[in-house]
A and B are shown apart, each in its own frame.
Chain A
């Protein structure tokens, strides 16, 4: 099968989703009405609430929701064959993921741009809101544990990416200082930052940095040492003001994301590789069953609950017209899904571009992909970009650096989120130490670090990925519950939300139950406990949702 044909199939589905299905959702389900003022128009203050052009907002929203998530999940899931992975990524995005993002955005603008967590509190009670906070906390701990491992792995496998990945830190700080304090125009600064970044990628290939001698002298594994360094860095980075590092780096990352997507797709069309990897591989060695594990392994790219936080956080405050929600919410998600499609092609067709057996070597067993799934994206994507005439080592360094940058920004953001939640819990339950930002950050970093280092000194960090996927989808389930309750309230068709909701809750329940049982039976108690905790949260969420629906049904209708 030709890679280009797969891309065309995906884009035809996206066109159907955007031009037909999302139109149906906008007109008949949510009844979007441009005559109703959006919160951006109603409370326009020029800072938080700002009516923004929909294409600009799409660019902002897309680059905020897309990161390393849609790269890691599909890179693992192709072990079950590329057909199930592509079908879930594309159809999941059209009928579930994009619907989730779109409905979270619309629900938020219809509730004065409030966050999904706060609206959930109104509909389902305070307990549901605490569950929401706990789920985000679990998500943040898991994502940091996994991403720290992935960065450490890329640094050891591709030492050429070390220099550019660290160069961007002083560069972003200089950028932030320049625009915020010195008030220099952003354009020359952006050009300067990009030039230095690309130069550092080139210099990285000339001067790869390995920390093996230091690690050996300390008696540590290089991966473990990198993980320690990364968490130390994240602890301090997450305490800096957002304008100094986080925002400028996020801006530069956004530009890189668009560049990466363009390069990989251009590579696919120029090289036109054929996919020789197995289309369907139901029983890979040591892997859990395809059903339901494929669905929780690929979360970002097909469905991601984290997006509801962005949709109902900043995006809903900037939507100029209700009908723009289709372009921003629905199309924004299809953009992320297209990155997941590119990754599937890179890990199958791209990987075998120069060596036909490469896929079999890398994806021989579940145990082997722990170390090779993410490097497979670098290798496969590098091959595709190399077909454009870019030297292979430069292409690989570029991709490895970008994955590191996306993952590092997510780590920084999620430690901040953990800190806010711990602070809030500290105030709710009057736990004095949790009120201190430094102690909260320390606990946040320590919990993720303990989790990743407990697995073979950090080397088994990727094993937590399916649990992360499950909790991310559970969060999506919560946002879908809010949208469902809202549609019931305004008496509109609920099936486009209800069916995905049932599907998501059923899949995650079965998958986390099997994960808990399998690992407990295997004697892997750490993974069993982590998975079991998510299962308990899941049960509590299902119970709370049923209670909310029953309470709403029993309420006397307004006007009686």
Chain B
């Protein structure tokens, strides 16, 4: 049983984390597109993605923490 746990952990470090990294970059791109107005890029879907914002709060929080910002960089969207 312990062997299985060690093997699982080995798999997580070897494959799980790199895959997680890939997933995160894809998510970052998605967030970038959602908040593109903030970066000065026109967002023709701003009204439609508004509905997504409550669902994205958690992602936004993780993202700004990773960037080294203590609080959300968006004045109108506070997650913490």
Contacts A47-B17, A179-B15, A247-B15; A56 near B10 (Cβ below 8 A):
yes
User: A493: shortest Cβ distance to chain B, in Å?
Assistant: 33
Assess the A60–B10 pair: CB atoms within 8 A. Answer: yes
The listed residue with most A CB atoms (<10 A of its CB), out of B8, B15, B16, B22, is: B15
The distance in angstroms between the C-alpha atoms of A55 and B13, with both chains bound, is 12
Across the interface, name the chain B residue whose C-beta is closest to A253.
Answer: B14
> Any chain B CB within 8 A of the CB of A45?
yes
Which residues 31-52 in A have Cβ within 8 Å of B in the complex? Answer: 45-48, 50, 52
Assess the A63–B13 pair: CB atoms within 8 A. Answer: no
Assess the A190–B11 pair: CB atoms within 8 A. Answer: yes
Assess the A247–B11 pair: CB atoms within 8 A. Answer: no
The listed residue with most B CB atoms (<10 A of its CB), out of A45, A53, A56, A63, is: A56
A63 proximity list for chain B (CB < 8 A): 14
Assess the A50–B17 pair: CB atoms within 8 A. Answer: yes
Across the interface, name the chain B residue whose C-beta is closest to A48.
Answer: B21
Assess the A248–B13 pair: CB atoms within 8 A. Answer: no
Contacts A45-B66, A53-B9, A56-B9; A254 near B20 (Cβ below 8 A):
no
Assess the A250–B14 pair: CB atoms within 8 A. Answer: yes
The distance in angstroms between the C-alpha atoms of A254 and B18, with both chains bound, is 15
The distance in angstroms between the C-alpha atoms of A242 and B22, with both chains bound, is 8
Range of interface residues on B (Cβ < 8 Å): 20 to 34
The distance in angstroms between the C-alpha atoms of A45 and B15, with both chains bound, is 17
A24 proximity list for chain B (CB < 8 A): none
> Any chain A CB within 8 A of the CB of B71?
no
Assess the B18–A242 pair: CB atoms within 8 A. Answer: yes
A192 proximity list for chain B (CB < 8 A): none
> Any chain A CB within 8 A of the CB of B6?
yes
Interface secondary structure of A, over-half rule? helix
Assess the B11–A251 pair: CB atoms within 8 A. Answer: yes
Instruction: Digitize B1-31: 1 where CB-to-A-CB distance is under 8 Å, 0 elsewhere.
Output: 0001011111101111111111010000000
User: A535: shortest Cβ distance to chain B, in Å?
Assistant: 37
A496 proximity list for chain B (CB < 8 A): none
Contacts A47-B20, A243-B22; A59 near B10 (Cβ below 8 A):
yes
Contacts A53-B9, A60-B10, A187-B8; A251 near B66 (Cβ below 8 A):
no
Contacts A45-B65, A56-B6; A180 near B13 (Cβ below 8 A):
no
Which residues 49-72 in A have Cβ within 8 Å of B in the complex? Answer: 50, 52-53, 55-57, 59-60, 63
B10 proximity list for chain A (CB < 8 A): 56, 59-60
A59 proximity list for chain B (CB < 8 A): 10, 13
Assess the B8–A247 pair: CB atoms within 8 A. Answer: no
Assess the A186–B11 pair: CB atoms within 8 A. Answer: yes
B13 proximity list for chain A (CB < 8 A): 50, 52, 56-57, 59-60, 318
Assess the A47–B24 pair: CB atoms within 8 A. Answer: yes
Which residues 16-56 in B have Cβ within 8 Å of A in the complex? Answer: 16-22, 24
> Any chain B CB within 8 A of the CB of A557?
no
User: Of A47, A60, A187, which is within 8 A of B14 by CB?
Assistant: A60
> Any chain B CB within 8 A of the CB of A286?
no
The distance in angstroms between the C-alpha atoms of A242 and B19, with both chains bound, is 8
User: Of A47, A56, A190, which is within 8 A of B21 by CB?
Assistant: A47
> Any chain B CB within 8 A of the CB of A241?
yes
Assess the B19–A180 pair: CB atoms within 8 A. Answer: yes
Using a CB–CB cutoff of 8 Å, the interface residues on chain B facing chain A are 4, 6-11, 13-22, 24, 62, 65-66
The 3 closest A-B pairs by CB, nearest first: A243-B19, A60-B13, A251-B15
In the complex, besides A52-B9, A57-B13, A254-B14, 17 extra interface pairs with C-beta distance below 8 angstroms are A45-B62, A45-B66, A47-B20, A52-B13, A56-B9, A56-B10, A56-B13, A60-B10, A60-B13, A60-B14, A186-B11, A187-B8, A242-B22, A243-B19, A247-B15, A250-B15, A251-B11
